[in-house]
Amino acid sequence: MLSQMHPKGQITVYTTTYCPYCTFAKDFLTRKSLPFIEIDVTGDTSLREALVLKSGGRTTVPQIFIGEVSIGGYDDLVALSKSPDFEKLLKSSGITLKNVLD
């Protein structure tokens, strides 16, 4: 089910309401002009369970996917953004990073 929701060329952010780290992640992507799809999993137990499996056992939100690749939460996103792998991963998913200096 979730694999169909992570097409190439798309960043997907799974969130819940009242989740500061979700807001941090969305703000971060917005600052970098990286469009994303948000899926609110608040109260959806089966989607949440599927997400844990798809995220390699991570149980927190946000969970962020670049294309089909699970990159983890907000801290992971920030750490990855400081590595050349970030641009490579975006490129391989068909996403262009515009605000390189931000």
Which x/- pattern, by CB under 6 A, does the window 50-69 give for ligand GSH? ----------xxx-------
Under a CB-based contact definition with an 8 Å cutoff, are residues 55 and 42 in contact? no
Q: Is 27 in the site for ligand GSH (CB under 6 A)?
A: no
Q: How far is the CB of 50 from ligand GSH (least distance, A)?
A: 15
Q: Out of 44, 75, 85, 102, point to the residue binding ligand GSH (CB under 6 A).
A: 75
> Phi/psi at 81 (nearest 5 deg)?
-65, -20
Between the alpha carbon of residue 76 and those of residues 17, 19, 45, 46, the distances in Å are 20, 16, 24, 24
- Residue number with CB closer to ligand GSH (19 or 66): 19
Q: Which stretch binds ligand GSH (CB under 6 A): 3-11, 28-36, 73-81, 89-97?
A: 73-81
Task: Give the three-state DSSP class for 14.
Answer: strand
Q: Are strands 11-15 and 63-66 parallel, antiparallel or unpaired?
A: antiparallel
Binding site for ligand GSH (CB under 6 A): 16, 19-21, 60-62, 73-75
